[in-house]
Amino acid sequence: MPTTPATAANSSSNGTGEAILLELVDEDGRTIGTAEKLSAHQAPGQLHRAFSVFLFDEQGRLLLQQRALGKYHSPGVWSNTCCGHPYPGEAPFAAAARRTFEELGVSPSLLAEAGTVRYNHPDPDSGLVEQEFNHLFVGMVQAPLRPDPSEVGETAYVTAEGLAVRHAQGPFSAWFMTVLDAARPAIRELTGPSAGW
């Protein structure tokens, strides 16, 4: 992945061992400061910038990931293809492509913006809060996955009907349905009406 000033400053290989910082934003998504990642998620939560990626295969199936059991937030639950936080000063589009590659070992094709959504979702299991201004992206996956086991427990491709069954069985991330519903218009445009999204 290309190195930008934001990624270089926040690279784990820069030897500083500094805490990961997130961009704090106002209700309109304007940057107003930074906060350490864990503190931004502690109740009541601080509104910060995030992104969610939805990738589909050629058959119009959504790629889901099960978050690794070692993650401090929402471990072991199913969620969208990839989600995370841009580094301060990093464009959400660049962050979405970067994290998809880091977590799943694949670069998305035809990645496109799909709007934004703002939400406040407490996680009852951890007590952490997702207070996010989330940038949505949709695209295609056209290469074999190489998931990082420290990030991803399992992956699955699902149809719209298959997702309904799997979602009923749970567990899914607290934010999943919010970001999926907000991205649906762009998903339908990408996958076509026959995919059922």
Q: What is the pLDDT of residues 51-93, one digit of tens each?
A: 999 999 999 999 999 999 988 788 999 999 999 999 999 999 9
Name the pTM for this structure. 0.89
Q: What is the pLDDT of residues 92-135, one digit of tens each?
A: 999 999 999 999 999 999 999 999 999 999 987 788 899 999 99
Query: Which value, to the nearest 10 degrees, does the dihedral of the CA atoms of residues 37, 13, 68, 160 take?
Result: 80
> By C-alpha distance, which of 39, 37, 45, 41 is closest to 12?
37
Residue 15 pLDDT class (50, 70, 90 cuts): very low
Residues above pLDDT 70, as percent of the chain: 91
Catalytic residues: 83, 132
What's the confidence (pLDDT) of residue 2?
A: 47
Phi, psi of 16 (to 5 degrees): -85, -25
State the residue for tokens 């910038």.
Answer: 49
What's the confidence (pLDDT) of residue 10?
A: 54
What's the confidence (pLDDT) of residue 17?
A: 55
Q: What is the mean pLDDT of residues 189-197?
A: 94
Angle 136-164-143 (CA atoms, 0-180°, nearest 5)? Answer: 55
